[in-house]
Amino acid sequence: RASDRVIIETFSNSYSRLYALYATENLADVWTDITETLKKVDKLLAKRRGNEKFLSGASLPGLVDYAVWPFIERIPQF
């Protein structure tokens, strides 16, 4: 589905921005961009998931759930 690709691309772009944390000495320089990026991702997830357990909206995880899990799993590391 096209909406699945949008979510996967958003996560991919957002996740790559988090690597700015490793490339800077001053966290304040990148913090605003990172928080704005994570807010966008959070809104997208909330809208997509709604009251469903999975992003795919199915009773079992779908492709989009598996595609974004590596990004979600690593967010606490940042």
The predicted structure's pLDDT at residue 3: 73
The predicted structure's pLDDT at residue 35: 83
Q: Considering Cα of 2, then 18, then 28, then 23, what sign does the dihedral take?
A: negative
Domain membership flag for residue 78: no
Q: Report pTM.
A: 0.60
Strands annotated E in 1-78:
none
Tokens, residue 50 = 């709604």
* Count of domains for the chain: 1
Rounded Cα gap, residues 53 and 32, in angstroms: 30
Q: What range defines the domain where residue 33 resides? A: 1-73
The predicted structure's pLDDT at residue 2: 64
Domain membership flag for residue 42: yes
Rounded Cα gap, residues 16 and 72, in angstroms: 13
Residues 19-75: tens digit of each pLDDT: 777 777 787 878 888 788 788 878 887 887 778 888 887 788 888 888 888 877 777
The predicted structure's pLDDT at residue 71: 77
Query: Where do we find the tokens 């799993």?
Result: 73
